[in-house]
Structure 1
Amino acid sequence: MGVDGALGRAVELAGRGRRAILGITGAPAAGKSTYAAGLAAELSSRGHKVALVPMDGYHLAQAALERLGIAEVKGAPHTFDAGGFVALLERLRKQDDETVWAPRFDRELEDSIAASIQVDAEVEVVLVEGNYLLLDQEPWATGRRLMDEVWYVDLADDVRQARLEARHRQFGRSPEEARERTLGSDEHNARLIAATKPAADAILQLP
Structure 2
Amino acid sequence: MEYNVNINGIDVDAAYSDETIEEIVKPLLKHMADLHDSEKRRILVMLAAPPGAGKSTLVSFLEHMAKEIIPTKKVQAVGMDGFHRRQEYLISHKTVVNGKEIPMVDIKGAPITFDLEALKNKIIELKENAVCKWPEYNRMLHNPVEDAIAVDADIVLLEGNYLLLDQDGWRDISEYADYTISMTAEPKMLRKRLIDRKTASGNTREKAEKFVDFSDMANVRICLEHSKRADMELRIDASGNLHRSGSN
TM over 0.5: yes
SS at match of 2:148: strand
Larger strand percent: 2
Aligned length: 203
* 2:144 equivalent among 84, 88, 112: 112
In the TM superposition, 1:2-151 aligns within 5 A as 2-4=23-25, 5-16=27-38, 17-45=40-68, 46-68=71-93, 69-95=103-129, 97=130, 99-120=131-152, 123-151=153-181
Percent identity reads 30
Whole-angstrom distance in 1 between the partners of 2:178 and 2:186: 27
What are the ranges of 5 or more consecutive residues in structure 2 without an aligned counterpart?
Answer: 1-19, 94-102, 242-248
What are the ranges of 5 or more consecutive residues in structure 1 without an aligned counterpart?
Answer: none
**Partner amino acid for 1:102?**
W
Q: Which structure has the greater CA radius of gyration? A: 2
Answer whether contact 1:102 1:115 (CA < 8 A) is retained: yes
**Partner amino acid for 1:91?**
E
SS at match of 2:172: helix
1:155 alignment counterpart: 185
Larger helix percent: 1
Answer whether contact 2:133 2:148 (CA < 8 A) is retained: yes
Deviation at residue 196 of structure 1 after TM alignment: 3.7
* 1:201 equivalent among 189, 207, 231: 231
Whole-angstrom distance in 2 between the partners of 1:152 and 1:3: 13
Whole-angstrom distance in 1 between the partners of 2:225 and 2:81: 20
Compute the TM-score of the two structures, normalised by the length of structure 2.
Answer: 0.76
Answer whether contact 2:78 2:156 (CA < 8 A) is retained: yes
Whole-angstrom distance in 1 between the partners of 2:57 and 2:31: 18
Please identify runs of 4+ aligned residues in structure 1 that moved more than 3 A: none
| Larger RCO, structure (CA 8 Å, separation 6 or more) | 1
Whole-angstrom distance in 2 between the partners of 1:172 and 1:91: 35
Deviation at residue 201 of structure 1 after TM alignment: 1.6
CA-atom RMSD, angstroms? Answer: 1.8
